[in-house]
Structure 1
Amino acid sequence: MKLKSIVFFLLLGFCQAWSQPLVFQSPNKKIAVTLEAIDGANKGEWFLKISHQSDTNVSEILPKINLGLSRSDQDFSKELLFLKASKPKMITEHYELPYGKKLVRDNQANEVVVSFENPSKAKLNLIIRAYNDGVTFRYEFPEKKGSYVVNDEFTAYQIPKESKRWLEKWNTANEGLYAESSEDKIQRQEWCYPALFNSSDKSSWFLLHEADLDRTYCGTKLSNKNDSNSYKLSFPDPADARGTGEPKPTISLPWQSPWRVITIGSLSDIVESTLVEDVSKPTDFKTTNWVKPGKVSWNYWSSNHGTKDFKTVCEFADLAVKMNWPYTLLDWEWDGMTNGGNLEDALKYIHSKGIKPLMWYNSGGDHTWVSSTPKDRMLTHQNRVEEFTKLKKLGVVGVKIDFFESEKQNMIQYYLDILEDAAQFEMMVYFHGCLVPRGWSRTYPNLMTYEGVRGAEWYNNVPEFTYTAPEHNTILPFTRNVVGAMDYTPVTFTNSQYPHITSYGHELALSVLFESPLQHLADRPEGYYNLPDEVKTFLKNVPTIWDNTKLIDGYPGQDVTIARQKDNSWYIGGISASECKEVTKKIKLDFLTEGTNYQALLIADGKHNKVFDIQNLVVNKNTIMDVKLLRRGGFAVSLIPMEK
């Protein structure tokens, strides 16, 4: 069977006839996209093919991406007639966000719209963009009326079996572990987003995800149940959320799907990419000056029912004050607070200390088995307006909402309803027990962070996290945290129910490695009070928002070192997962400003995993720092420019 191609040459015009060979490339020409017809004619099944030019060679990283949709009235996959490809359009954007791995964003893409029709003359468009750091595509039904159920989406990524992959088994809370596999070790099952792959020749990396999901569709996941090397998009399981909600989405025309996002390049390109937010809808918020990121004291990790105890709440408020953190979180059961005071007493105490409270809610409803209170206060628009009105009067500035348990269309609508109502009251939002980011932070800047990760809370849940956390922590910067804020609730030096075997240096490094505008620091007060002064100072000053992010080195499952910039200062965090040997890293500081000296505070592993080696150094961009990491160790550095 012969394959004929439609390839788009952006610089040479556009085509109306399907057989004219034209090329579609990214602006830097390192990524090429090809659209091919399986049967060699201009009618039938179609797929995309993607290649990437690395520093060493050109690699066909995705030899086939199946395309198409099935609606309740008709099919848009098997007999699609090519009509035309639009004249190529350059997409250029500049925007800013109040938080994230990079506050100022610039991106460029080449976009082509390919038009098809099926045998009944119904139209389907495929919108394709090639960015310098990836490829995105989405489906469009351009017709002006009609309402239908989408029975299936046939998007499927064919992955060469030799490609290494890091995938997390599907679970509704997105709180599993990533496992590495290739060739004969590949399992067939459903998988979470995002999914990381290394090309067969090892020269290129790519991350599969989706973005700009809105209330017109459901969240999808990846499934290779039918073919171990084909990852097809699948809809939510009918049993999710206790069987409530429809697993298949209902759409009204005209309609566009979420973007299918493939971030492509080196590991640095993956880690530093903002592609998921770049393709998402810009915000229409009039102002975001009330969106204020910062660090948060949090009592759940050390005391599961701590918020029921007024004195515990006060202790964590005091911790926030002493550490110069702006927030403290009242977790579940604040409505049952005793031992010297109730909620109103606690809020009065918190405000008297000059910090601000955040408060937890159960998402409520029949979709969750969890009965923890307060429950059902976020379920309807009326519920939310009543609750946000009360919270505003009480001086509460944000809410943490938990236990969603589904990515069906009705749950996506629920998430967005919460964000829109919260914005009317200038209320920040944190989703817990939830989906992973889909670019909503660009559309709704009051969405500060998400859980959607197996984080430090799991030291409270199962003994295995003690032994899996070191490796897991080195995978997250290349996977989950790439696509958006991740509240792992890091930086713990004492133990929860089950101990940690990561070093103190490893734990401190997580304050830089894991990006979250609201960073909930999880240890008990004495865990921070007993630290050396230099470490306490570091935790007081380390930002939660960044002007720039750079991967210095690393490999998923082994080690990772990341540098992040705020104003003229830089912070570095590095960790190792090694169980067997100590590691000495040479950290080049060539990203620093030419001609400027920096005061470096290096906090590394000491003689054993519960002490630090602290050094004050003067460095510049020509400096190479030697840093020793213990087994499962780590380090953190602050680099502050010195006055000339």
Structure 2
Amino acid sequence: MKLKIIVLLFALLNWSQSWSQNIILQSPNKKIITGLHVADLNTKGECYLQVSYKVNQIIEIIPKINLGILRSDQDFSKELRFLKATKPKLINDRYELPFGKKSVRENSANEITVFFENPSKAKLNLIIRTYNDGITFRYEFPEKKGSFIINDELTAYQIPKENKRWLEKWNPANEGLYASSSDDKILQQEWCYPALFNSSDKSCWFLLHEADLNRTYCGTKLSNTTDINTYKLTFPDQQDARGTGESKPKISLPWKSPWRVITIGSLGAIVESTLIDDVSTPTAFKTTDWVKPGKVSWNYWSSNHGTKDYKIVCKFTDLALEMNWPYTLLDWEWDAMANGGNLEDALKYIHSKGIKPLMWYNSGGDHTWVPSTPKDRMLTHKNRVEEFTKLKKLGVAGVKVDFFESEKQDMINYYLDILEDAAQFEIMVYFHGCIVPRGWSRTYPNLMTYEAVRGAEWYNNGPDFSTTAPEHNTILPFTRNVVGAMDYTPVTFTSSQFPHHTSYGHELALSVLFESPFQHFADRPEGYYQLPDEAKNFLKEVPTTWDATKLIDGYPGKDVIMARRKGGSWYIGGISASEREELTKEIKLDFLDEGIDYRAVVIADGKHDKAFSFQVLEVNKDKTIEVKLLRRGGFVISLIPINK
């Protein structure tokens, strides 16, 4: 280990003088080190990446990342010849988004491009960036002509078995549970993104994902079926989407792959990172003034066929009005609405209350077995233009499109077609039964949120979620919600088909912990009307977009406390997964601005899981707040500056 460290540092010091056997690229803050190993830079040989992280000393966190691509015409893997590498150049990302965990994004990286050729003299470039919070790399075919099939991508992450990991078994809807494992408990199967790992010495965390996926490729997943300690990128299964579409992507030169992304650092650095967006293509939208995030009332969770019923639609419109939420969603079956009115009557009622409607669509086509209507209206460009023209006239602000069931290249094109056509009509979009975020919201800021999570809807699918939700909820802020908006449809107090085991305080905290620009509050109206004024007011006021995010405390599967800022105000949410112990947490407020006093409203668990406790305090950055959590409990705190 010490010898490896010396070699790495020697190569860094001598970068400008000569190439070492390891090409080294450090992050601007010098904490992350990427090494590209080539067997012999003057001859043919295998190349791979190594990743190290500097805390008090340099530790190797990923000993080997296999590289290579098998194209339909030839092999770009084992017999690559190194040609040259560029000098490092500094990448500075600074941009703004109208939503997300941060409004202003800033990140820096050092980048090199390494040039190879195979025995046929065909060219392959490897572009590597080492950011302050991770590394990214992508392949490039620079030649100007040719169309090919990618038969396989050989990218594979070798992870020591001692590393603890949190992984979700692969499923096309990305709606499974995360499970932790290490050592002899590791399973061999296919896995969803993102995948979280903790180094064996506990000092470093890293999250595997991909970003800037576009029309030129398919989505990938991870598989350790061949080697238990190596997670290889794999293409979609051919049987996905009822066998429609091709699992292997077709490319035309010149071509670049999606970025392969490893977010690296402390657990707080993982949670706060925007690396997936940082490396994605900036938007070409001329304006995003029409993109309006906000809270939504949603009738499906409590009334499966709710949108068929005009009176239920009106009740949820009234709920949005009472709670100062700008939107209500008309979910499936709005085309069969009855019991006092039809769609046009409902839209008229919604608009009369100053609320904006959102509407659900089945993605349609042969790729989905789901017959729910309306179906096929998003399927072709002609269909979409006709439908979006109608929706614009009807004053509909956004559409929810469901049941994609594949990450093949044709489905990636379908997602992006919907986003591009909707943008022409200034209509916002969100996806359900769908892909995990890949950075598209930076490119298409009308993409408000994604499902791709086992959310509150699963209380209706069986009894298992009642017992698994407390732990699941404490894992999501460190995994799925790190990489993009997550439509969990949270904050439900009453029971649907199966009951909660979480406390009311736990449920309320999800409004802060789970980030989504469209935040669908899923409970029935009486679930919110029965709340004490303090809790009700919190749900009226809590934002759905943030200027800053900070992890205060937590560990996946145990508990999490997170603070988010909007303007000068902070909101804190915390939950516990503990089945046995009540917790007492002391929350340091050292992240607050110097010299400002804040009015803190603390809403925490009460005497039992359906009760709250309340306190109002005057605090500043030198203070701490003590909060008690019941088993599976939670709390929220609002911190509003006091004008003196």
TM-score class, shorter: over 0.9
Q: How does 1:112-261 map to 2 (within 5 A)?
A: 112-261=112-261
Deviation readout 1:250-301 (Å, 9 max, x if unpaired): 0000000000000000000000000000000000000000000000000000
2:81 counterpart of 1:81: yes
Q: Does the CA-based 8 Å contact 1:18-1:82 persist in structure 2? A: no
2-structure distance, mates of 1:113, 1:629: 51
2-structure distance, mates of 1:216, 1:394: 35
1-structure distance, mates of 2:288, 2:472: 34
Q: Secondary structure at the match of 1:613?
A: strand
Structure-2 residue corresponding to 1:47 = 48
Q: Secondary structure at the match of 1:148?
A: strand
Letter in 1 for 2:321: V
How far 1:42 moved relative to its partner?
3.5
2-structure distance, mates of 1:44, 1:624: 57
Structure-1 residue corresponding to 2:457 = 457
Q: Does the CA-based 8 Å contact 2:434-2:450 persist in structure 1? A: yes
2:642 counterpart of 1:642: yes
2-structure distance, mates of 1:521, 1:138: 39
Deviation readout 1:214-251 (Å, 9 max, x if unpaired): 00000000000001110000000000000000000000
Structure-2 residue corresponding to 1:626 = 626
> Once structures 1 and 2 are overlaid, which stretch shifts more, 346-355 or 592-601?
592-601
Q: Does the CA-based 8 Å contact 1:6-1:36 persist in structure 2? A: no
Structure-1 residue corresponding to 2:570 = 570
Letter in 2 for 1:605: D
Letter in 1 for 2:426: E
Q: Secondary structure at the match of 2:454?
A: coil
2:31 counterpart of 1:36: no
Q: Secondary structure at the match of 2:617?
A: strand
1-structure distance, mates of 2:363, 2:89: 43
How far 1:310 moved relative to its partner?
0.1
Q: Secondary structure at the match of 2:584?
A: strand
2-structure distance, mates of 1:234, 1:607: 50
Structure-2 residue corresponding to 1:601 = 601
Deviation readout 1:317-366 (Å, 9 max, x if unpaired): 00000000000000000000000000000000000000100000000000
How far 1:73 moved relative to its partner?
0.1
1-structure distance, mates of 2:301, 2:16: 58
Q: Does the CA-based 8 Å contact 1:5-1:34 persist in structure 2? A: no
> Once structures 1 and 2 are overlaid, which stretch shifts more, 369-378 or 617-626?
617-626
2:400 counterpart of 1:393: no
2-structure distance, mates of 1:469, 1:23: 43
1-structure distance, mates of 2:608, 2:538: 20
Structure-2 residue corresponding to 1:415 = 415
Scaled by the length of structure 2, what TM-score is found?
0.98
Q: Does the CA-based 8 Å contact 1:6-1:35 persist in structure 2? A: no
1-structure distance, mates of 2:7, 2:358: 55
Deviation readout 1:148-204 (Å, 9 max, x if unpaired): 000000000000000000000000000000000001000000000000000111110
2-structure distance, mates of 1:241, 1:634: 39
Q: Secondary structure at the match of 2:287?
A: coil
Q: Secondary structure at the match of 2:201?
A: coil
Q: Does the CA-based 8 Å contact 2:22-2:37 persist in structure 1? A: no
How far 1:93 moved relative to its partner?
1.8
Letter in 2 for 1:209: H
How far 1:8 moved relative to its partner?
10
Structure-2 residue corresponding to 1:27 = 28
2-structure distance, mates of 1:13, 1:204: 26
Query: What is the identity percentage for the equivalent residue pairs of Structure 1 and Structure 2?
Result: 77
2-structure distance, mates of 1:180, 1:115: 39
Structure-1 residue corresponding to 2:558 = 558
2-structure distance, mates of 1:162, 1:10: 29
Q: Secondary structure at the match of 2:351?
A: helix
Deviation readout 1:385-439 (Å, 9 max, x if unpaired): 0000000000001000000000000000000000000000000001000000000
Q: Secondary structure at the match of 1:268?
A: helix
Q: How many residue pairs are counted as aligned between the two chains?
A: 641
C-alpha distance 199-21 of structure 1, shift in aligned 2 (>3 A): closer
Structure-2 residue corresponding to 1:348 = 348
Q: How does 1:295-310 map to 2 (within 5 A)?
A: 295-310=295-310
Q: Secondary structure at the match of 1:489?
A: coil
Q: Does the CA-based 8 Å contact 1:212-1:258 persist in structure 2? A: yes
Q: Does the CA-based 8 Å contact 2:388-2:425 persist in structure 1? A: yes
Q: Secondary structure at the match of 2:474?
A: helix
Q: Secondary structure at the match of 1:412?
A: helix
Q: How does 1:150-549 map to 2 (within 5 A)?
A: 150-549=150-549
Q: Does the CA-based 8 Å contact 2:22-2:35 persist in structure 1? A: no
Q: Does the CA-based 8 Å contact 2:277-2:442 persist in structure 1? A: yes
1-structure distance, mates of 2:23, 2:278: 26
2-structure distance, mates of 1:183, 1:300: 42
Q: Secondary structure at the match of 1:416?
A: helix
Letter in 2 for 1:32: I
C-alpha distance 230-20 of structure 1, shift in aligned 2 (>3 A): closer
RMSD: 1.6
2-structure distance, mates of 1:217, 1:396: 32
Q: Mind listing any 5+ residue stretches in structure 1 that lack a counterpart?
A: none
2-structure distance, mates of 1:621, 1:489: 33
How far 1:462 moved relative to its partner?
1.4
Q: Mind listing any 5+ residue stretches in structure 2 that lack a counterpart?
A: none
Letter in 1 for 2:613: D
1-structure distance, mates of 2:94, 2:178: 34
2-structure distance, mates of 1:533, 1:429: 33
How far 1:507 moved relative to its partner?
0.2
How far 1:40 moved relative to its partner?
8.1
2-structure distance, mates of 1:299, 1:53: 49
Structure-2 residue corresponding to 1:582 = 582
C-alpha distance 163-40 of structure 1, shift in aligned 2 (>3 A): farther
2-structure distance, mates of 1:5, 1:149: 39
Q: Secondary structure at the match of 2:433?
A: coil
2-structure distance, mates of 1:59, 1:541: 44
Q: Does the CA-based 8 Å contact 2:22-2:36 persist in structure 1? A: no
How far 1:24 moved relative to its partner?
1.2
1-structure distance, mates of 2:313, 2:10: 61
Q: Does the CA-based 8 Å contact 1:211-1:276 persist in structure 2? A: yes
How far 1:38 moved relative to its partner?
4.4
